[in-house]
Amino acid sequence: MKWLLLVSSLVVIALLAASAKSVLFTEWRQHQNEYRKLLLVKADDDPGRESAARYEVALQQVVVPELNATDRCVSCHTGIDDARMAGQRQPYRAHPRRLLEYHPVSKFGCTVCHRGQGLATTNEDAKAVHAYWDYPMLPGRMAQASCAQCHDPLSLKGRGGDVLALGAGLFEERGCRSCHKLGERGGSLGLALNDEGRKVIHQFILTDL
């Protein structure tokens, strides 16, 4: 009976320790603690050092009801709107300034452009590259594809959307509309491409069956 009690106690202690670790040593907490150290290093006056010392480690999120977006990316990407973090490694690096001037995070969030799982609090879950999330994070310059949700792709050449503009230009140069309809223009020999870019991975697989 004593052995059973001992084993049960050890199991409970182990579970409590695991629970505490999952709360106190989360990725976002570690990143924010590191960010606070960076703030102290970057501070060049007393007010800056006082502000860095007061930095609160807490789960952060951006809620944009108009876009149905709730993004916690800022819990790890803490320096996205801090120009002093321009040369830092991820996730502390500042976001390219020109894009944020016209697309502030407070109004657009993150996932409307980058995709991924906005409510996630770990790097792996946020990227959502597994098979159970419809829109995994777009890698690197592929995030430019999201610009076409609001902008004419051809107008973005030299304005941060060169890859998207190149693709749109090839679509026109190769005469793809001769067979495929896109929007209100195009032929009927091939399948219409309307909303093709909104398909999830599984829909593409079904299309090719």
As a whole number of angstroms, the distance between CA 98 and CA 150 comes to 17
Q: What is the mean pLDDT of residues 164-181?
A: 90
* pLDDT computed for residue 13 by the predictor: 65
Give the mean pLDDT of the chain.
85
Asked which of 121, 137, 153 is the last residue of a domain, the reply is: 137
As a whole number of angstroms, the distance between CA 92 and CA 35 comes to 7
pLDDT at 22 over 70: no
pLDDT at 40 over 70: yes
Closest CA to 137 of 114, 157, 160: 114
Assess whether 118 and 157 both reside in one domain: no
Assess whether 150 and 125 both reside in one domain: no
Q: What is the mean pLDDT of residues 155-184?
A: 89
Q: Tens digits of per-residue pLDDT, 185-195?
A: 878 888 787 87
For residues 105 and 81, is the Cβ–Cβ distance under 8 A?
Answer: yes
Q: What is the mean pLDDT of residues 29-34?
A: 94
Q: What is the mean pLDDT of residues 173-178?
A: 90
Question: What is the DSSP track for 80-100?
Answer: TT-GGGTTSPTTTPPPPHHHH
Alpha helices in the chain (DSSP H): 2-24, 27-42, 46-53, 97-102, 105-108, 111-114, 123-127, 162-173, 201-208
Q: Identity (one letter) of the amino acid at 38?
A: L
Q: What is the mean pLDDT of residues 160-175?
A: 91
Give 117 or 11, the one with higher predicted confidence: 117
Q: Tens digits of per-residue pLDDT, 101-147?
A: 999 999 999 999 999 999 999 999 999 987 678 889 998 888 998 99
Assess whether 38 and 107 both reside in one domain: yes
Assess whether 45 and 98 both reside in one domain: yes
For residues 80 and 74, is the Cβ–Cβ distance under 8 A?
Answer: yes
Assess whether 53 and 71 both reside in one domain: yes
Assess whether 133 and 157 both reside in one domain: no
Assess whether 93 and 194 both reside in one domain: no
Domain that holds residue 100: 23-137
Q: How confident is the model at residue 21 (pLDDT cuts 50, 70, 90)?
A: low
Q: What is the mean pLDDT of residues 10-18?
A: 59
Number of domains in the chain: 2
Q: What would the two tokens of residue 98 be?
A: 């020109």
The pTM of this model reads 0.77
* pLDDT computed for residue 160 by the predictor: 87
Assess whether 113 and 198 both reside in one domain: no
Asked which of 95, 117, 137 is the last residue of a domain, the reply is: 137
Asked which of 137, 156, 182 is the last residue of a domain, the reply is: 137
SS3 44: coil
8 belongs to a structural domain: no
